[in-house]
Amino acid sequence: MLSRVMTSALRATAALVLVASLSPTAASAETAEGYWQGVQKTGTLRCGAAGGPPYVMRGPASGGYSGFFADLCREFAEVLKVKPEFVDTTWDNIVAGLQAGKWDVSLALNRTPARAMAVQFSVPAMEYQISLAYNKDNPKIPAGAAAVADIDKADVTLAVMSGTAQDKAISAAIKNATILRLPGNDETRLAVVSRRADILVDASDTNQLFTQSNPDWAVALNPTPALAKQGVAFGLPHQLSAADVEVVNIFLEEKVATGHVQDLIRKAVDDVLKASN
């Protein structure tokens, strides 16, 4: 009898220990809140936005945001059932601002190993590569130019937006030419138009806009080997859980697979070309 009582007591004690050991985990599972649930409570999705057509553009008069990544920000806000809020920033600060919690996502961020040590990334919305746009009549640029080495001469000046992925890529590749770092896309384009610079270093789709806007003289070269070829994605806070990152990934995967992102890109390109005419 005593043996059976002791056995029952030991079983009961073991059961209590098991329940006690599981309780905190179970309680955490029930009460844990994901990052996006926190955003839903605030009612606002804050999107860090640095200018770069056709990714992100800001109207000079209205201050409103357009471009296909701005559209994706609005659509993700709709998924969360919150309002989008665009926070103006620069390419120099777009990672630091995300780290500091000034916004919830960074728009149109190139996926690089260095950045991945500071922030997380969604899956890419598109693939990116760097091209070189210039005046086809510029005697400094050889007619058969195909590689960066062909234009890396002491008398050549390259204009690039400071702090961007293209700035980092061209800076690593250039040995002799001068690099002119400017704060925005308008300034870099103007530098080439005014012949203050010989070459515009930018994303291939952005340079396509430039050449289409100046068809009489502007051409673009995708250098071989490539300067950079990276995915362009949402930058996400480093502390996001895998489940939180998956929410963004599933959203983007569907938009890419259905061709919706390509439609947004075409619309953004058309908007830029109309504005330049």
Beta pairing partners, 83: 44
Residue 20 in domain: no
* Spatial distance between the Cα atoms of 74 and 185, rounded to a whole number of angstroms: 23
Which residue range is the domain that position 239 belongs to? 37-126+230-276
Contact yes or no for 39/78 (Cβ under 8 A): no
- Per-10-residue mean pLDDT for the chain, 277 residues long? 44 44 38 86 97 88 91 98 97 95 96 93 93 97 94 98 92 97 93 97 89 93 90 96 98 97 90 77
Same domain assignment for residues 111 and 235: yes
Same domain assignment for residues 103 and 149: no
Same domain assignment for residues 53 and 183: no
Same domain assignment for residues 137 and 181: yes
Residue 110 in domain: yes
pLDDT at 142: 94
Residue 3 in domain: no
According to DSSP, the β-strands at 120-121 and 178-182 are: unpaired
Q: Can you tell me which residue has the tokens 């400094």?
A: 140
Same domain assignment for residues 223 and 255: no
Cα 255 from chain centroid? 16
Same domain assignment for residues 216 and 157: yes
For the entire predicted model, the pTM comes to 0.70
Same domain assignment for residues 55 and 120: yes
Q: How is residue 181 written in tokens?
A: 């770092």
pLDDT at 32: 61
- Which residue among 211, 229, 247 closes a domain? 229
- State the total domains in the chain: 2
Q: Residue 250 is part of a domain; what is its CATH number?
A: 3.40.190.10
Contact residues for 152 (Cβ-Cβ < 8 A; gap 6+): 173, 174, 175, 176, 177
Which helix (H) or strand (E) segment holds residue 195: the answer is none
